[in-house]
Amino acid sequence: MTGQRENVLMRTIDTLLEARNGSAIADLPAELVPANMDEVYYVQDAMAATFGEIGGWKIGAPTPEATPIFAPMPRVWIGASGSALSGARWRYRGLEAEIAFLVGEDLPPRATPYTREEALAAMASCHPAIEILESAFVDPMVATKYATFADLQMHGGFIYGPAIENWRAIDFNTESVTLSVDSVIRVEKTGSNTSGDLVKLVPWLANEGASRTGGLRKGQWITTGSWTGNTPSSKDARVDVEFSTAGHVELRFA
């Protein structure tokens, strides 16, 4: 990347951060939109660095055949089930039901790829989770795709539920989930993670993602994509996610 291009992307970063912290914008100016995924990731990582320590990674794929995409999750935006979220930062309030893993052992970069079993053995636990979507854009669904990807892939927060007992026995292709807002079921689906085999995302991140993550670290979270799509919430809502065997997680906007 040339110095001139880095200067342009610094303007992209500043524009997105200002919109996140102030008034949302319709879209990035065309000249500030990243040209490819390498530039998207450059912007993501610089934005995340302004929020402090990385607490984990969101990863997903739109289809079972697609290359996964991932973004950093700031530690300061992570909380336990039952958290009350208040303040001006919560303005878009998109909701996604997810399955997440807590890393129990470091997985540093290495020449020999980690096997699926090695990567999963390094996970301390598996949890139901809610990802909260926030955005620099008034309507991220109509903003330029690479602009939305660069904006931390709309990441705004992560809430984890209790550890799932015997999670390896769960067939996630037949697992069902409901997402409720104020006790009204808004989404009900079965086997609906878009990556197909969500567990494959863990070794992929440990291997293919290592050049960017620097390796996975004990205490980080990996959340593996939406089961329910992007569901909007109101300002003072209570949100509940219930998996058929993977358990329950909740939050409220105060």
pLDDT (tens digit per residue) in 199-247: 999 999 999 999 999 999 999 999 999 999 999 999 999 999 999 999 9
Tokens of 95: 């909701």
pLDDT (tens digit per residue) in 86-139: 999 999 999 999 999 999 999 999 999 999 999 999 999 999 999 999 999 999
Domains of the chain plus CATH, in order, are: 3-253 (3.90.850.10)
Average pLDDT over the chain, rounded to whole?
Answer: 97
* Cβ pair 230, 133 in contact under 8 A: yes
pLDDT at 2: 85
pLDDT at 92: 97
* Cβ pair 84, 251 in contact under 8 A: yes
For 224, list phi and psi in degrees, rounded to 5: -110, 30
Q: Residue 19: which pLDDT band, with cuts at 50, 70 and 90?
A: very high
For 54, list phi and psi in degrees, rounded to 5: -80, 125
pLDDT at 111: 97
**Sheet of strand 184-190, all strands in order from the earlier edge strand to the far edge:** 83-85, 247-253, 238-243, 176-181, 184-190
pLDDT at 3: 85
Average pLDDT over residues 4-14: 96
Mention every residue, 6+ apart, whose C-beta is less than 8 A from residue 248.
Answer: 81, 128, 161, 162, 240, 241, 242
Residue 77 CA to residue 126 CA, distance in Å, equals: 19
Flag whether pLDDT at 32 surpasses 90.
yes
pLDDT (tens digit per residue) in 36-73: 999 999 999 999 999 999 999 999 999 999 999 999 99
Flag whether pLDDT at 149 surpasses 90.
yes
pLDDT at 51: 97
User: Mind giving me the DSSP string for 173-239?
Assistant: TT-EEEEEETTEEEEEEES--TTSSGGGHHHHHHHTTHHHHSSB-TT-EEE---SS--EE--TT-EE
pLDDT (tens digit per residue) in 89-99: 999 999 999 99
Helix-then-strand count for the chain, H and E: 6, 13
Helix segments in the chain, DSSP class H: 3-21, 37-49, 116-121, 145-150, 201-207, 210-213
pLDDT at 20: 96
pLDDT (tens digit per residue) in 69-85: 999 999 999 999 999 99
| Spatial CA neighbour of 39 closest among 130, 237, 249, 31 | 31
Residue 15 CA to residue 137 CA, distance in Å, equals: 11
